[in-house]
Structure 1
Amino acid sequence: MTRCTLKGMTIGLLGLTLAGLAAFTPPINIATGSVLLTSAPVDHGSYDRLLKKYVNEKGLVNYKGFKADEKELKKYLDVISNNPPTDKWSKNDQMAYWINAYNAYTIQLILNHYPVSSIKDIGSRIKIPFVTTPWASKFFKIGGEEMSLDNIEHGTLRKKFNEPRIHFALVCAARSCPRLRNEAYEGDKLIAQLDDQGSDFLNNPAKNAITPQKASLSKYFDWYKGDWKENNKSIEYWVNQYSKTKINKDTPISFLDYNWALNEQ
């Protein structure tokens, strides 16, 4: 066998080897150079375990515990960052992803500035021109794009999905927020989870005080009044969906002051 033939075989084998490696190379995010771990819906199991460990049944958070386990939270957020939803995911899988992302990044934001007595205190610590609230700060990336909590809530969830019940699930680390659920949201359980959140929120007298004579509701029903009225619905409709005490169109409605104290255990 000649050297030319041997050389050809070597090059041929090398080509096959490289082709084989290419077939098993994970996809790369061109914007960041990071490996995209999967095109399937994200596994929220690690986040679920953290929530069960550091969030109680009332939705109050052990931030000191989270701080001690911050590496595990960041590992989950790395998965979130590198695996944005695609149109191949179901609508519920996409919504579960974004709700979990919002809540988990909110926890991370608190940990970045801990200790704080309120998330609103973080605004004065942000030294970015024209950024005065923690929700507008672009402190994380998803799919290589710099994003803020506002981008998730207003630019994605409210804009794309037309699902008012997200307001029962997004938790901005304040006492007047809905409880932070001590489990991750999952696409196949999402509707039941949102319904459970609605029931818990509407029947908590500290957050919605409802009697047959009057309804003192969360500011959520004032701030997002347009969302509750979409699809020919009303605030009355959503209250009666979940509140044990019903109201009617003539029931006087007022809105409670919002308690921005940190939702800490």
Structure 2
Amino acid sequence: MKNIISLLTVVFFIASCNSQKNIVEENPNPKEVIVSQPVMTKAVKATPSNTLEVPKETENNLEKPMEEKPTEEIVIQASVPVIETSSKIDHSSFDQLLQKYVTNDGHVDYAGLKKERKKLSSYINLIKNNAPDDSWSKNDLLAYYMNAYNVMTIDLILRNYPKESIKDIKNPWEQRFWQIGDKWINLEDIEHKILRKMDDPRIHFGINCASFSCPPLLNEAFIADKVDTQLDQLAVQFVNDTKRNSIAADRVEISNIFKWFKKDFTKEGDIINFLNKYSKVQINDNARVRYMEYNWNLNK
């Protein structure tokens, strides 16, 4: 009997020890669970597509910088603005020559320009190879043909330089040295058949006949975007130029240009009405009008 009791005691002790071991293995230290379980949940949880799911708070943090900082493409567009112009042709090469060899009051360094014949000829070829079409605006046409007239006049002088006057050249306005497209053209064609038919009398202040009494040659090229402003500035400059016009309230002695092209200047009133648009002196309606002798000496 003693033996049976002793055996049962040993069995009970062994069973008790195994039970304690299982309890320990199935229930690790609670402190370890608190530390490790949140990490495993957030790091390993996967979506059905086997891609890691980004926690909600992390998504919010990623979206915020995208809203505040533009993409690289937008930054580039903002930092490098596009300069737009309506001009159909690039007049910059002629502009550079004018700025270099024409003074603010219109005196032309023909000797200097003669050394730049290649650049001048290159621009004349640009004019030739870019003939206007029906898509061109009036301002494009004004800029194109006034620049063409002026560069061809300069070229005419250089072909015959040195001369004291453009009138020393035989039939200067009838010479056909230049082309626009496939048509040979002269200065008379541009002035009378094209520019005057555009019904803007200010063109007479924009084109230059290489003479002292002409409106001074502008020392920049005409461009479509600002040709209207350029012509207004030239009109004010010429009308109030005391070397070429003398204006008082009761009398005016003005350039023969106003006489030769009177029809152009009087479409909306008489010559006094036109002058008063630009004159700094208000001219009386009954003021006496006379015309000055024209000086054809070269504008050098």
TM-score higher than 0.5 here?
yes
Q: How many angstroms apart in 2 are the aligned matches of 1:157 and 1:94?
A: 9
1:45 corresponds to which of 75, 92, 99: 92
Equivalences for 1:77-88 in 2 at 5 Å? Answer: 77-88=124-135
Q: How many angstroms apart in 2 are the aligned matches of 1:78 and 1:65?
A: 20
What TM-score do the two structures reach when normalised by structure 1? 0.79
Give the secondary structure class of the aligned counterpart of 1:164.
coil
Q: How many angstroms apart in 1 are the aligned matches of 2:290 and 2:129?
A: 43
Give the secondary structure class of the aligned counterpart of 1:185.
coil
Q: How many angstroms apart in 1 are the aligned matches of 2:142 and 2:133?
A: 11
Counterpart amino acid of residue 154 in structure 1: H
2:210 is equivalent to residue 173 of structure 1: yes
Counterpart amino acid of residue 211 in structure 1: A
Residue aligning to 1:26: none
Task: Tell me by how many angstroms 1:248 deviates.
Answer: 2.5
Output the aligned Cα RMSD. Answer: 0.9
Task: Tell me by how many angstroms 1:233 deviates.
Answer: 2.9
Task: Tell me by how many angstroms 1:79 deviates.
Answer: 0.4
Q: How many angstroms apart in 2 are the aligned matches of 1:252 and 1:121?
A: 34
Task: Tell me by how many angstroms 1:140 deviates.
Answer: 1.0
Task: Tell me by how many angstroms 1:74 deviates.
Answer: 0.4
2:199 is equivalent to residue 152 of structure 1: no
C-alpha distance after superposition, 1:147-186 (max 9, x if no partner):
1100000011112x11100011110000000111110001
Residue aligning to 2:154: 107
Residue aligning to 1:135: 173
Q: How many angstroms apart in 2 are the aligned matches of 1:108 and 1:248?
A: 42
2:251 corresponds to which of 208, 214, 221: 214
2:275 is equivalent to residue 239 of structure 1: yes
Equivalences for 1:1-265 in 2 at 5 Å? Answer: 41-123=88-170, 133-159=171-197, 161-230=198-267, 232-264=268-300
Task: Tell me by how many angstroms 1:213 deviates.
Answer: 2.4
Task: Tell me by how many angstroms 1:241 deviates.
Answer: 1.1
Q: How many angstroms apart in 1 are the aligned matches of 2:270 and 2:176?
A: 33
Q: Give runs of ≥4 in structure 1 deviating > 6 Å.
A: none
Give the secondary structure class of the aligned counterpart of 1:84.
coil
Query: Number of aligned pairs?
Result: 214
Counterpart amino acid of residue 137 in structure 1: Q
Task: Tell me by how many angstroms 1:247 deviates.
Answer: 1.1
Q: How many angstroms apart in 1 are the aligned matches of 2:121 and 2:182?
A: 16
Give the secondary structure class of the aligned counterpart of 2:283.
coil
Question: Does the Cα contact within 8 Å between 2:252 and 2:288 map onto a contact in 1?
Answer: yes
Q: How many angstroms apart in 2 are the aligned matches of 1:53 and 1:201?
A: 22
Counterpart amino acid of residue 89 in structure 1: W
Give the secondary structure class of the aligned counterpart of 1:106.
helix
Q: How many angstroms apart in 2 are the aligned matches of 1:212 and 1:236?
A: 10
Q: How many angstroms apart in 1 are the aligned matches of 2:208 and 2:283?
A: 26
Counterpart amino acid of residue 273 in structure 2: Y
Give the secondary structure class of the aligned counterpart of 1:199.
helix
Question: Does the Cα contact within 8 Å between 2:266 and 2:274 map onto a contact in 1?
Answer: no
What TM-score do the two structures reach when normalised by structure 2? 0.70
Task: Tell me by how many angstroms 1:246 deviates.
Answer: 1.8
C-alpha distance after superposition, 1:86-141 (max 9, x if no partner):
12111101111000000000000000000000000002xxxxxxxxx210111211
Give the secondary structure class of the aligned counterpart of 1:135.
helix
Counterpart amino acid of residue 76 in structure 1: Y
Q: How many angstroms apart in 2 are the aligned matches of 1:224 and 1:184?
A: 24
- Of structures 1 and 2, the one with the larger relative CO (CA 8 A, separation 6+) is 1
